[in-house]
Structure 1
Amino acid sequence: MLDALFGHLDLWGQALWGTVVLFFGGGAIALVLGVIVGGMRVSPVPIARAVGTVYVNLVRNTPLTLIFFLFAFGVPVLVEGDVDFLGLAVWALGLYTATYVAETMRAGINTVPVGQAEAARAIGLPFGQVMSLVILPQAMRAVIPPMMSVFIALLKNTTVAAGFSVLNLGSIRAYMSERGENAMDVLLWVAIIFVALVMLLTLLQSQLERRWKVAR
């Protein structure tokens, strides 16, 4: 069983790197876009609220595999050339996860007392500054646990890219089978690595909660 890991460190390194790129790339897109869409969902501008609502309801209710299909087979037709499937997978994960980030942020924004926003508007701050200077800093503290759950789900969702020619921990079993390794041994190591990664995220969550609790 140990040979399944230590005898193929080159392949495991490539697979782990693919998962890391998918996670951090998709997570960065999801966080930026999700915060923007979350703000749109509570915006006083009707068009902004409508666009945010349509985006969240449309993308969140679409299976992630179907979104991958749209990127894998639709984008190459549009660009009419070679495409980077790893990059497409990052965007597919980011745009999908952004809907969950947006809803998490909207819930956090709703926990901030209305009087805070009214006071900020009373001194002449526009909506953008009210959100960035008053509301979001408080909302972020409230959403650490649910937000970390979103990113743990993102980490697990990176395995979907395995079905679209993207090397990551979700696809390493097929490569290892070609090298004659037992599939169950490989899958056990994959599970161990994912558990370790989730534990790291959980530790990060605890650190953030402790630090921001003291900051209050």
Structure 2
Amino acid sequence: MRLSVIDHPLVAHKLTALRDRTTDSPTFRRLADELVTLLAYEATRDVAVEPHPVTTPVAPTTGVRIRSPKPIVVPILRAGLGMLDGMVRLLPTAEVGFLGLLRDETTLQAKTYANRLPDDLSGRHCFVLDPMLATGGTLVASITYLLERGARDVTAICLLAAPEGLEVVRQAFDAHAQVTVVTAAVDERLDENGYIVPGLGDAGDRLYGVV
């Protein structure tokens, strides 16, 4: 597993506003959207491209375009939906699939309740969107699902990560698995309830309210 923590003043500024308990849901959604676009810029650094001829108003030249098969973006329901627009804004040609995983608050294990993805992901670069990498159970389950179906690379984009969760992901995937985690910050620890400290609270509730 590779880890990329984005050290950038704009990333830190937007993350600070997201952490603030007084930030309301509309503002939280906007900030999350903007932050994801910044993280996605780094997360797509290794996306596969191929040469592509183009004619400018002055002369022919050769540039690049994203290579087939197209990348696929996979938001983890429900909180991952708040990251989707920011991601596809930067990668509009990507396809979008969905995974619904719910963390059991007693066992802290992830359970799948929804799946809208192709059975065959051979050669695909998958971008998993999940705001909080806390215990790591949800992310490990998601990445395992994608790799078992043939995904070439899996890049997880998370607003925040905890050391405990990162270690779980690291232990789950050996050096041969093409797994990368991109995040705005690695926080101190998890509390007794499995929440990131200092964190930013429950991302799903802050995005959409308590339902």
Larger Rg: 1
Question: RCO greater where, 1 or 2, for CA within 8 Å and sep 6 or more?
Answer: 1
TM-score of the aligned structures, taking structure 2 as reference length: 0.29
TM-score of the aligned structures, taking structure 1 as reference length: 0.28
Structure with the higher fraction of residues in helix conformation: 1
Structure with the higher fraction of residues in strand conformation: 2
